[in-house]
Amino acid sequence: KPVTTDMKTLTEEIEKFAEGKKIEIDTLKIREEYRKDFLGNVSHELKTPLFTVQGYILTLLDGAMKDKKLREKYLERANKGVERLIYIVKDLDLITKFEAGELKVEREDFDVIELIQNTFDLLEMKAAKKQIALTFDMEYPNPIYVNADREKIQQVISNLLVNSIKYGHSNGTTEVSVENLIKNKVIVRVTDNGVGIPKQHIPRLFERFYRVDQSGSRTEGGSGLGLSIVKHIIEAHEEKIYVESEVGVGSEFSFTLEKSANKVE
């Protein structure tokens, strides 16, 4: 068996070995921190709705059950809490998949204007409850074909619209536009005239569980995962997302998409 006598080579080998181990240990440490952080956030986010649901159940057991009106009221509220829990767990499931690299982008050519209109329709009731109008900010919303994962882009649009409703003022408006950017890209903008986001929070908005307290996000429900999901989807498409916002004026979230290369009728 040949022995390495060349000291330089040997040192290099040892350094390489040590370097490799160091990197491994470093990433392990970071991963461990990340995991702890994540679990801490998850249990915190789950605790609130769980205690709320328990509160209603205890009140029912404590006698409220006998009163038909109270019974209905508390059961309805408990159900809302459970719905919220399901919503958080579903989002968590998605995030975990994305972060495990299981997010597959299944591209197809589709009309993004139609997709936005469909999403408006799905959210119509939610928007109407807050008297918020969802509209196009385009003179002629004619078909614009893009190449992307239709279902995932619908999730992006839906998450941005839901936020614009949640953090919008009643009687407000959310406008969506799609514009040509450079030759093979379009940019989709979702603009609201809601509460806006203080500057210092903007760089952290897309982190999972990050929420801006001042915007009333605690009372609004949600998991703090919506924008993190949006970012994962846009990055998996190798596209970009931007945010501009001013407190008291409103926010604009915009992202790019690839135009369809084929002429689609």
Residues of this chain that interact with ligand ADP (CB under 6 A) are 163-164, 166-167, 192, 194-197, 205, 210-212, 215, 217, 222-228, 251
| Residue of closest CB approach to ligand ADP | 222
Q: How far is the CB of 144 from ligand ADP (least distance, A)?
A: 23
Choice between 169 and 185, CB closer to ligand ADP:
169
Six token digits for residue 9 = 């080579």
Nearer to ligand ADP, 59 or 217 (CB): 217
For the CB of residue 91, give the shortest distance to ligand ADP in the complex, in Å.
8
How far apart are CB 46 and ligand ADP at their closest, in Å? 14
User: Looking at beta carbons only, is 49 or 222 nearer to ligand ADP?
Assistant: 222
Of 114 and 209, nearer to ligand ADP (C-beta) is 209
Residue 194 CB, nearest approach to ligand ADP (Å): 5
Identify which of residues 212 and 234 has a Cβ nearer to ligand ADP in the complex.
212
> How many Cβ atoms sit within 10 Å of the Cβ of residue 63?
9
Looking up tokens 């939610």 gives: 126
> CB of 263: closest distance to ligand ADP in angstroms?
35
By beta-carbon proximity to ligand ADP, the closer residue of 60 and 197 is: 197
Min dist. Cβ of residue 170 to ligand ADP (A) = 14
Q: Which residue in 207, 258, 237, 152 sits closest to 34, CA to CA?
A: 207
